[in-house]
């Protein structure tokens, strides 16, 4: 059986940059396969109240894109090899400068990008720069995405396909959507790339159930929720979720 992938979302700078660094290193030890490094933004269209809260707290500390690059550079110097994908909105990237962003992201040791408000038809020059730097560009597919568009998105997605498992914004949910399995089966018929499902995954039981339907699981809001109670609490939760996804 192919090993399932477990991806953890962390907000850069929440509760501090030092805490984000510690969590990435401990997540790697816990068997996490991919880190989504969320860049705090004042108007996060896809994020629910938990991640919005973490973004607001990080923004109060004036966290910058340069901090993100410096953090990844430090992690790589420490021997961390876990793939790190920048998750953020296009406005801060545009302000930084597309060409400079792609160059600096790659030289820092980042592996890819997820930009939920950037459709593949837009900012083609920036996407070209990312390809030039060999940065993976991960596309999102939602339950409401029409089949024709879903085929185009999975065709363009690099590394893996991010399936948004529920309608609405991020956040913990008590139950998984009833149509999740049917949507995942349809998506997997469109591509041989790994499909990872995220949004709303809150418990080890949910993570285990999703990992049976797909190639991997993404957990964000539930991690941030535990992080509100302190870094050790979040670390224990990440380890539990990692074991659930990996079938331990």
pLDDT, average across residues 131-135: 97
Helix axes 147-156, 180-190, angle to 10 degrees: 60
Question: What is the pLDDT, as a whole number, of residue 107?
Answer: 98
Which tens digit of pLDDT belongs to each residue from 36-62? Answer: 999 998 876 656 788 899 999 999 999
Check pLDDT > 80 for residue 112: yes
The mean of the pLDDT values for the chain is 92
Instruction: Provide φ and ψ at 224, rounded to 5°.
Output: -65, -40
Check pLDDT > 80 for residue 177: no
Count of other CB atoms within 10 angstroms of residue 206: 22
Which residues are identified as catalytic? 36, 47
Question: What is the pLDDT, as a whole number, of residue 248?
Answer: 66
Q: How confident is the model at residue 212 (pLDDT cuts 50, 70, 90)?
A: very high
The CATH number that applies at residue 125 is 3.20.20.70
As to burial, measured by CB atoms within 10 angstroms (0-12 exposed, 13-18 middle, 19+ buried), residue 82 is middle
What domain range includes position 237? 5-135+199-245
CA distance 194 to 122: 24
The answer to whether residue 100 sits within a structural domain is: yes
Structural domain count of the chain: 1
Q: How confident is the model at residue 200 (pLDDT cuts 50, 70, 90)?
A: confident
């Amino acid at each position: 059986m192919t090993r399932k992938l477990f991806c953890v979302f962390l907000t850069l700078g929440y509760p501090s940059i030092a805490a984000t660094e510690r969590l990435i290193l401990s997540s790697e030890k816990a068997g996490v396969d991919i880190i989504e490094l969320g860049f705090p933004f004042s108007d996060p269209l896809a994020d629910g109240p938990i991640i919005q809260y973490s973004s607001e707290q990080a923004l109060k500390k004036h966290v910058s894109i340069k901090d993100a690059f410096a953090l990844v550079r430090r992690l790589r110097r420490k021997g961390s090899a876990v793939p790190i994908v920048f998750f953020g909105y296009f406005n801060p990237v545009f302000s930084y400068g597309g060409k400079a962003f792609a160059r600096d992201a790659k030289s820092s040791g980042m592996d890819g990008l997820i930009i939920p408000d950037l459709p593949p038809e837009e900012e083609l020059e920036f996407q070209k720069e990312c390809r030039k730097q060999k940065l993976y560009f991960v596309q999102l597919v939602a339950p409401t995405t029409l089949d024709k568009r879903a085929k185009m998105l999975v065709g363009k997605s690099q590394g893996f396909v991010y399936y948004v498992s529920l309608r609405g914004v991020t956040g913990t949910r008590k139950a998984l959507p009833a149509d999740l399995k049917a949507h995942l089966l349809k998506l997997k018929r469109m591509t041989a790339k790994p499909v990872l499902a995220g949004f709303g995954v809150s418990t080890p039981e949910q993570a285990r159930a999703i990992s049976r339907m797909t190639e991997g699981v993404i957990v964000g809001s539930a991690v941030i929720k535990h992080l509100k109670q302190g870094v050790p609490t979040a670390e224990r939760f990440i380890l539990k979720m990692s074991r659930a996804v990996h079938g331990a």
